[in-house]
């Protein structure tokens, strides 16, 4: 299905022409990302539509999840599709190395993963020529004009799942309303994650917009290796610990400064930093070592500090382990202008939550967690240090935050069932082919 005004169609045509002209620049950009470890060293051709796997026979459902958070939201639906519709092939695309590493260990057998092609006409055509999807489930908010337009032109049924559109993005899209209407018009169904998101999607021209809740609230707890977690807990032996989770550039220095302030008040304090992008681990260690002495690095095989110290946990797939070990967690991306990371993963595992004011990616959830008595907002480094000192001392308050967060994070477990009910008619059509 292709939809939209002549102005919107013309905007997509202009975008595609400019993208084609920019192909050499985009190729150099991808090469630069490869050198920096931001693209897969062997599978990078997938980013230009060169398939790394054979297409399975029969009908194919394509799920697109931009990065780690969206991929986690997709996992319950992948499990349902595999169990309820075993004859339908499943392809998951993501755009980041970290998301690929995550799904490598979490996807059911037979579900294929590929990197999403860059939004260039030739790359998109190669991708669609090979995979020929019948149904596409598009998660959250990544609206690539060429990819959506070409898929719709080929008759792929498109559904937006867990749709998100922030107030800032909505304001920007309003300046390009014909393009927004054309892109959103390609979706046969838009399932928004909140009432506010639904209203914004409708305002920009989305059709059949419905809201059942946020799939992130229904996700399973992050996994962990129980033996490794128990061994780390034994080495900590009750020492105080706090976690800076999914940090972005600038926040590691804040965490190190907070550690210096708080370690003087809490002997033996271990401050664990889990960077959002693990490849930054060695650089973080080197940057912090100058002012903070030795900084242990997990990917280098370093053990937890024997005394008070910083520990950079830069290994993939272990965030669930650290959430189980740390009762007190700062959510990264919130003291720098990024928009915050998912606080529900920590809340689900019984962590008391702290985050900065920049939680726009999870604005509704962040506000509701504070209102539910499950989180506190800190405005800057000094406030973060004060909150960590206070909560390490005040166990009842820390436990109250954690329990409120657990209740909030598990209150919408039925969201998956409601989303499945919406998707079932579309998938059932594929079974009948």
Q: List residues with catalytic annotation.
A: 70
Task: Enter the tokens of residue 422.
Answer: 């919406």
Task: Enter the tokens of residue 253.
Answer: 């220095």
Q: In 3D, which of 266, 293, 290, 387 has the Cα closest to residue 334?
A: 387
CA distances in angstroms from 169 to 143, 175, 319, 348, listed in the order given: 11, 10, 29, 28
CA of residue 249 relative to chain centroid, distance: 17
Q: In 3D, which of 262, 268, 271 has the Cα closest to residue 307?
A: 268
Question: What single-letter DSSP state applies at residue 116?
Answer: P
Question: What single-letter DSSP state applies at residue 341?
Answer: -
Task: Enter the tokens of residue 205.
Answer: 């021209």
Distance CA(288)–CA(424), nearest Å, equals 51
286 Cβ neighbours under 8 A, 6+ residues apart: none
Asked whether the beta carbons of 178 and 156 are under 8 A apart, the reply is no
- Tokens 């630069």 — which residue? 32
Burial class (CB in 10 A: 0-12, 13-18, 19+), 422: middle
């Amino acid at each position: 299905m292709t939809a939209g005004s002549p102005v919107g169609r013309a905007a997509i045509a202009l975008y595609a022409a400019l993208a084609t002209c920019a192909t050499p620049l985009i190729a150099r950009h991808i090469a630069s990302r490869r050198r920096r470890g931001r693209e897969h060293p062997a599978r990078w051709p997938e980013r230009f539509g060169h398939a790394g796997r054979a297409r399975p026979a029969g009908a194919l459902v394509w799920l697109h999840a931009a990065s780690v958070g969206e991929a986690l939201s997709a996992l319950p639906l992948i499990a349902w599709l595999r169990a309820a519709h075993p004859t339908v092939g499943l392809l998951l695309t993501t755009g980041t190395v970290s998301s690929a590493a995550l799904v490598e260990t979490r996807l059911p057998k037979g579900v294929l993963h590929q990197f999403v092609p860059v939004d260039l006409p030739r790359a998109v055509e190669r991708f669609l020529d090979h995979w020929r999807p019948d149904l596409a489930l598009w998660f959250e908010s990544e609206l690539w004009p060429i990819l959506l337009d070409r898929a719709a032109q080929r008759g792929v049924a498109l559904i937006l799942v867990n749709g998100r559109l922030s107030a800032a993005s909505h304001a920007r899209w309003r300046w390009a309303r014909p393009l927004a209407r054309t892109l959103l018009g390609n979706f046969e169904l838009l399932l928004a994650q909140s009432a506010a998101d639904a209203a914004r999607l409708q305002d920009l021209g989305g059709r059949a917009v419905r809201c059942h809740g946020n799939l992130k609230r229904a996700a399973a707890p992050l996994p962990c290796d129980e033996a490794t977690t128990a061994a780390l807990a034994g080495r900590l032996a009750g020492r105080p610990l706090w976690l800076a989770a999914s940090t972005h550039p600038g926040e590691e220095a804040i965490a190190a400064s907070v550690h210096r302030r708080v370690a003087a008040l809490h002997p033996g304090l271990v401050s664990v930093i889990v960077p959002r992008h693990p490849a930054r681990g060695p650089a973080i260690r080197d940057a912090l070592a100058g002012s903070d002495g030795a900084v242990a690095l997990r990917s280098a095989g370093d053990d937890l500090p024997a005394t008070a110290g910083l520990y950079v946990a830069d290994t993939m797939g272990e965030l669930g382990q650290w959430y189980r070990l740390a009762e007190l967690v700062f959510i990264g991306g919130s003291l720098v202008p990024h928009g915050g990371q998912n606080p529900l993963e920590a809340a689900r595992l019984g962590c008391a939550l702290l985050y900065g004011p920049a939680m726009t990616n999870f604005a509704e959830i962040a506000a509701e967690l504070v209102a539910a008595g499950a989180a506190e907002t800190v405005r800057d480094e000094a406030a973060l240090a004060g909150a960590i000192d206070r909560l390490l001392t005040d166990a009842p308050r820390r436990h109250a935050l954690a329990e409120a967060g657990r209740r909030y994070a598990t209150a919408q477990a039925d969201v998956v069932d409601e989303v499945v009910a919406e998707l079932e008619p579309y998938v059932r059509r594929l079974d009948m082919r």
